[in-house]
C-alpha cells in the first residue's frame, strides 16, 4: 500500500515536471518564432489578423443616435423639416467635422440602408431609429495597402488616409433575383495597383435586419481595366476621384461612373485617361447584368459623383470640374464630354488646362446641360417624385464644399433655375430619395438627415392655423385680423426680416430690444424688461407711457379681448419654429 502511494507521488512529480518543461519549451519556441519571424510566424500572424477582423465584423461601431436635431429650413416654395442624428463611430466625439469621406445610401424594403466608409452597414426608418445590421462590406484590401505602404517598392510615395473608399451601394432587381451591389476602390497587393471594383451579393430578404452578409459572401463582378499603377507624384491613389456611382435601367443595364483618379496629365506623371479609348477610367460604363460584361458608354468624364436615370429615361450625371465648371450632363452613348481638353473650369492655378484648346469654354465636345462656377463640389443627384408638389419633377444635387442642396427646375429639357438651399456648410456627401418620398442625406460629419417638405410658414398659413385653433367671437376675430394687418405695415411677423421695425415672430417672452433690428430707440435699447403678456399689453395700449421716447407710435388699442387676441397671436407665432 505504502509503496504504491510513493509510486503515485513519484509519477505525479515526474509528470508535473514534464508539463512545466513542455510549457517552458513551447513558450521559448513561440518566442523564438515570433522574434525571428521563422516559418510558422506568418501563419500565426494571419490567423491572429483573421480573428481581429472577425471581431471587428461581429461588433461594428454602434450608432450614436443620442445627438438628435430637429429644425426647419425655409426655401422659396416650401419649408424643409429636417431631423438628423449623428451616426458616429465609437470613441469619436461629436461633432466631428469633415472626418468621414465617403459612404452611400440606398433603399431596402421600407428602410434606408447606409454604408459608412469603415465598411459598416446601418439601417434606418428615421433619424430616431438608426441601427447597425449584420451586413459587412466587401474587402477593399485596406490591410494589404497599409502593409504595402511600408514596403521598399513604395518608398517616397504619398498616401491619402482614405484612398480606398466605398463609393456607392444599390439594390437592383435583375432577372428575378434581388442583388445588393457595392462599388469601391480595391487595392491589388501582388501587382501594386488598384481598380474600381463592383461586387454583388444576392439578397435573401428585403428586410436588412434579417440579413447576415460576410465580407467573403460578396462576388466581384467587375474590375475596371487596366489595373492602375500607383502614382509616384502627388498622391499615390486619389480615391476621391473614383466616381463609382450607379444607376440601373431594368431589365438588365447597369450604368456606373468611373473617374480618372486625377490622372489627367496635370498633377501626375501619367498620361490622361479620360480621352484614351482603351481604358475604363474617365468614362461612364454600361454593364449587362446577365453577363456582367462592361462597355464604354461615354468618354471624356472627369469625376462623376452622381448618376441618375430619370423617369423619362434621361440619364444624368454630375461631375466635379477642376477650378470651376462642376457639370450636370445628359449622357448619350458614344458622346465625348471633353475632359481634360475642355471645361468651363480652369486649371487650379487659374490658367489654361494643360492640353486644352479653349479657355473656360465648351465648344467642341458635348457641353453640360448646366454648370456651376465657382465649383461647389457637386455630389450626387436625385429626381424628386412624390416629395412635395412644389418640388416634384425637380432635380436635387448635393454639394460638399458648397454645403448646400441645389434644386434645379427643369423646363422643357433645360434648367430654368437653380435654387441653393444652405445646410449651414455641412458637406452633403450623398442625397437619396427614399421609397416613401422623404429625402435622406448623408453628411461628411457622420450625420444622417431625413427631410420632409412642409408648407412654408407664410403669414397667411399661420394666420389660418391660428384662427382654426382659437375660437373668438366673429366680430372680435375680424378686429384681431385687422389689427394684426396694421402691425404688419411696419413689422415682419414671420421670419426675421428687418423692415422698418423689429421682427415680431419671437418677441413673446424675450427681452425687450433683443432682435437684430438696428434702429432701436434709446428708450427700448436701455430697458431691462421681458415681453410678458402684461408688458406687451401695457406697451401696446400706450407705447409712450411704457417706454417714454419710443419710436413706436400709439395704435389706439385698449384693454379687452382684441388686445388679448393680438397677444395670443404673438405667443402662437413664437412657438412656430
Ligand atoms: C408705424 C409703424 C409701427 C406699427 C404700425 C407698429 N409698430 Fe411696433 N414698433 C415700431 C417701431 C419703430 C418699433 C421700435 C421702437 C423703438 O425702438 O423704440 C416697434 C417696437 C415694437 C415692439 C418691441 C420690439 C422689441 O424688439 O423689443 C413690439 C413688441 C411691437 N412693436 C409690437 C407691435 C404690435 C403688436 C403692433 C400691432 C398691434 C405694432 N407693433 C405696430 C413700429 C410700429
Q: Which residue has the higher pLDDT, 197 or 1?
A: 197
pLDDT score of 58 more than 50: no
pLDDT score of 11 more than 70: no
> Do the beta carbons of residue 221 and residue 293 sit within 8 Å?
no
CA angle 408, 411, 416 (to 5 degrees): 50
Share of the chain above pLDDT 70, in %: 86
Render the burial of 549-567: b for 16+ CB within 10 Å, e for the rest.
ebebeebebeeeebbebbb
Highest mean pLDDT among 5-19, 86-100, 425-439: 425-439
Ramachandran sector of residue 35 (left: φ over 0; alpha: ψ -120 to 50; beta: rest): alpha
pLDDT score of 48 more than 70: no
Pocket residue to mutate for ligand 1, from 486, 490, 514, 574, most atoms within 8 A of Cβ = 490
Q: Out of 73-82, 241-250, 261-270, 302-311, pick the least confident.
A: 261-270
Render the burial of 16-31: b for 16+ CB within 10 Å, e for the rest.
eeeeeeeeeeeeeeee
Q: In angstroms, what is the span from residue 488 Cα to ligand 1's centroid?
A: 10
Smallest CA separation from ligand 1 atom 17, residue: 520
> Do the beta carbons of residue 224 and residue 195 sit within 8 Å?
yes
Q: How far apart are CA 42 and CA 62, in angstroms?
A: 32
Alpha-carbon distances, residue 204 vs 120, 181, 182 (angstroms): 19, 14, 16
> Do the beta carbons of residue 483 and residue 504 sit within 8 Å?
no
pLDDT score of 263 more than 80: yes
Contacts for 434-440 with beta carbons within 8 Å, 24 or more apart?
434/107, 434/112, 435/107, 435/110, 436/110, 437/385, 437/386, 437/387, 438/387, 439/382, 439/384, 439/387, 439/396, 440/105, 440/112, 440/124
Over residues 310-329, the mean pLDDT reads 96
Give 431's contacts (C-beta < 8 A, 6+ positions apart). Answer: 379, 380, 381, 382, 396, 397, 398, 405, 439, 440, 441
Q: In angstroms, what is the span from residue 126 Cα to ligand 1's centroid?
A: 42
Q: Out of 322-336, 490-504, 527-541, pick the least confident.
A: 490-504
pLDDT score of 60 more than 60: no
Over residues 174-179, the mean pLDDT reads 90
Smallest CA separation from ligand 1 atom 18, residue: 550
> Do the beta carbons of residue 78 and residue 450 sit within 8 Å?
no
Q: How far apart are CA 261 and CA 282, in angstroms?
A: 8
Confidence of residue 67 (pLDDT cuts 50, 70, 90): confident
Over residues 14-40, the mean pLDDT reads 57
Confidence of residue 118 (pLDDT cuts 50, 70, 90): confident
Confidence of residue 57 (pLDDT cuts 50, 70, 90): very low
Confidence of residue 1 (pLDDT cuts 50, 70, 90): very low
Span 557-569, pLDDT tens digits: 999 999 999 999 9
Q: In angstroms, what is the span from residue 520 Cα to ligand 1's centroid?
A: 10
User: Sign of the CA dihedral 126, 130, 136, 142?
Assistant: positive
Q: In angstroms, what is the span from residue 502 Cα to ligand 1's centroid?
A: 7
> Do the beta carbons of residue 331 and residue 369 sit within 8 Å?
no
User: Sign of the CA dihedral 230, 234, 240, 244?
Assistant: negative
Share of the chain above pLDDT 90, in %: 73
pLDDT score of 427 more than 70: yes
- Give pLDDT, residue 458: 79
Pocket residue to mutate for ligand 1, from 479, 481, 491, most atoms within 8 A of Cβ = 491
Q: How far apart are CA 207 and CA 110, in angstroms?
A: 8
- Give pLDDT, residue 72: 86
pLDDT score of 464 more than 60: yes
- Give pLDDT, residue 102: 86
Q: In angstroms, what is the span from residue 568 Cα to ligand 1's centroid?
A: 16
pLDDT score of 55 more than 80: no
pLDDT score of 531 more than 60: yes
Smallest CA separation from ligand 1 atom 3, residue: 490
Q: In angstroms, what is the span from residue 513 Cα to ligand 1's centroid?
A: 10
Over residues 99-109, the mean pLDDT reads 88
Q: Out of 59-63, 111-115, 474-478, 534-538, pick the least confident.
A: 59-63
Q: How far apart are CA 81 and CA 74, in angstroms?
A: 9
Smallest CA separation from ligand 1 atom 36, residue: 487
Ligand 1: list residues with CB < 6 Å: 483, 486-487, 489-491, 501-502, 504, 507, 512-513, 515, 520-521, 523-524, 531, 536, 540, 550-553, 555, 566
Mean pLDDT of the chain: 89
What the block records as the C-alpha cell of 60 is 461594428
Q: In angstroms, what is the span from residue 458 Cα to ligand 1's centroid?
A: 20
pLDDT score of 45 more than 50: yes
Radius of gyration from C-alpha coordinates of the chain? 32
Neighbours of 435 (CB within 10 A): 12
Q: In angstroms, what is the span from residue 209 Cα to ligand 1's centroid?
A: 56
Which of 139, 129, 124 has its CA nearest to residue 57? Answer: 139
Give 183's contacts (C-beta < 8 A, 6+ positions apart). Answer: 166, 167, 168, 169, 196, 197, 198, 199, 244, 245, 246, 256
Q: In angstroms, what is the span from residue 554 Cα to ligand 1's centroid?
A: 10
Which of 405, 407, 455 has its CA nearest to residue 431? Answer: 405
Give 212's contacts (C-beta < 8 A, 6+ positions apart). Answer: 134, 135
Q: Out of 50-54, 196-200, 425-429, 520-524, pick the least confident.
A: 50-54
pLDDT score of 397 more than 90: yes
Q: Out of 11-15, 436-440, 507-511, pick the least confident.
A: 11-15
Smallest CA separation from ligand 1 atom 40, residue: 487
Over residues 156-170, the mean pLDDT reads 95
Smallest CA separation from ligand 1 atom 20, residue: 552
Q: How far apart are CA 135 and CA 180, in angstroms?
A: 11
Span 280-295, pLDDT tens digits: 999 999 999 999 999 9
Q: How far apart are CA 497 and CA 501, in angstroms?
A: 9
pLDDT score of 429 more than 60: yes
> Do the beta carbons of residue 246 and residue 237 sit within 8 Å?
no
Q: How far is CA 442 from the centre of its chain?
A: 3
Q: Which residue has the higher pLDDT, 106 or 500?
A: 106
Amino acid at each position: 500500500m505504502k509503496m504504491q502511494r510513493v509510486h503515485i507521488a513519484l509519477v505525479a512529480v515526474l509528470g508535473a515536471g514534464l508539463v512545466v518543461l513542455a510549457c517552458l519549451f513551447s513558450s521559448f519556441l513561440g518566442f523564438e518564432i515570433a522574434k525571428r519571424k521563422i516559418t510558422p510566424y506568418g501563419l500565426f500572424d494571419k490567423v491572429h489578423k483573421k480573428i481581429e477582423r472577425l471581431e471587428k465584423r461581429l461588433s461594428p461601431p454602434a450608432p450614436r443616435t443620442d445627438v438628435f436635431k430637429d429644425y426647419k429650413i425655409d426655401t422659396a416654395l416650401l419649408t424643409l423639416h429636417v431631423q438628423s442624428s449623428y451616426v458616429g463611430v465609437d470613441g469619436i466625439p461629436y461633432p466631428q467635422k469633415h472626418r468621414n469621406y465617403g459612404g452611400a445610401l440606398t433603399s431596402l424594403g421600407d428602410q434606408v440602408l447606409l454604408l459608412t466608409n469603415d465598411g459598416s452597414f446601418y439601417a434606418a426608418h428615421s433619424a430616431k431609429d438608426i441601427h447597425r445590421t449584420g451586413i459587412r462590406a466587401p474587402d477593399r484590401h485596406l490591410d494589404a495597402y497599409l502593409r504595402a505602404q511600408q514596403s521598399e517598392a513604395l518608398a517616397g510615395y504619398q498616401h491619402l488616409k482614405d484612398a480606398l473608399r466605398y463609393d456607392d451601394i444599390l439594390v437592383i432587381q435583375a432577372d428575378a433575383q434581388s442583388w445588393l451591389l457595392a462599388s469601391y476602390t480595391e487595392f491589388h497587393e501582388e501587382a501594386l495597383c488598384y481598380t474600381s471594383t463592383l461586387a454583388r451579393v444576392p439578397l435573401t430578404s428585403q428586410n436588412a435586419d434579417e440579413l447576415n452578409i460576410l465580407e467573403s459572401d460578396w462576388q466581384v463582378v467587375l474590375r475596371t481595366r487596366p489595373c492602375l499603377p500607383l502614382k509616384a507624384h502627388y498622391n499615390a491613389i486619389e480615391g476621391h476621384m473614383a466616381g463609382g456611382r450607379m444607376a440601373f435601367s431594368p431589365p438588365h443595364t447597369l450604368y456606373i461612373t468611373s473617374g480618372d483618379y486625377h490622372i489627367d496629365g496635370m498633377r501626375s506623371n501619367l498620361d490622361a485617361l479620360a480621352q484614351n479609348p482603351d481604358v475604363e477610367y474617365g468614362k461612364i460604363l454600361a454593364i449587362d447584368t446577365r453577363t456582367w460584361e462592361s462597355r464604354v458608354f461615354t468618354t471624356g468624364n472627369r469625376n462623376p459623383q452622381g448618376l441618375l436615370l430619370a423617369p423619362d429615361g434621361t440619364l444624368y450625371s454630375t461631375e466635379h470640374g477642376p477650378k470651376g465648371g462642376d457639370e450636370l450632363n445628359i449622357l448619350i452613348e458614344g458622346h465625348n464630354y471633353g475632359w481634360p481638353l475642355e471645361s468651363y473650369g480652369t486649371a487650379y492655378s487659374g490658367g489654361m488646362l494643360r492640353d486644352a484648346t479653349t479657355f473656360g469654354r465648351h465648344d467642341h465636345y458635348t457641353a453640360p446641360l448646366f454648370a456651376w462656377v465657382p465649383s461647389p463640389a457637386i455630389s450626387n443627384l436625385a429626381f424628386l417624385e412624390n416629395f412635395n408638389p412644389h418640388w416634384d419633377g425637380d432635380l436635387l444635387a448635393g454639394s460638399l464644399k458648397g454645403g448646400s442642396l441645389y434644386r434645379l427646375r427643369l423646363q422643357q429639357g433645360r434648367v430654368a433655375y437653380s435654387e441653393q438651399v444652405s445646410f449651414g456648410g455641412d458637406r452633403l456627401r450623398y442625397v437619396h430619395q427614399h421609397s416613401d418620398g422623404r429625402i435622406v442625406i448623408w453628411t461628411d460629419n457622420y450625420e444622417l438627415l431625413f427631410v420632409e417638405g412642409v408648407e412654408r410658414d407664410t403669414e397667411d398659413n399661420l394666420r389660418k392655423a391660428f384662427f382654426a385653433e382659437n375660437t373668438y367671437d366673429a366680430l372680435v376675430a375680424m378686429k384681431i385680423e385687422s389689427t394684426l394687418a396694421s402691425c404688419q405695415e411696419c413689422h415682419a411677423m414671420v421670419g426675421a426680416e428687418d423692415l422698418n421695425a423689429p421682427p415680431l415672430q419671437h418677441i413673446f417672452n424675450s427681452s425687450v430690444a433683443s432682435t437684430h433690428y438696428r434702429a432701436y430707440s434709446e428708450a427700448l435699447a436701455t430697458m431691462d424688461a421681458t415681453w410678458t403678456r402684461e408688458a406687451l399689453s401695457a406697451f401696446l395700449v400706450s407705447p409712450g407711457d411704457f417706454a417714454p421716447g419710443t419710436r413706436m407710435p400709439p395704435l389706439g388699442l385698449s384693454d379687452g379681448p382684441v388686445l388679448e387676441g393680438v397677444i395670443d397671436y404673438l405667443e402662437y407665432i413664437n412657438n412656430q419654429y
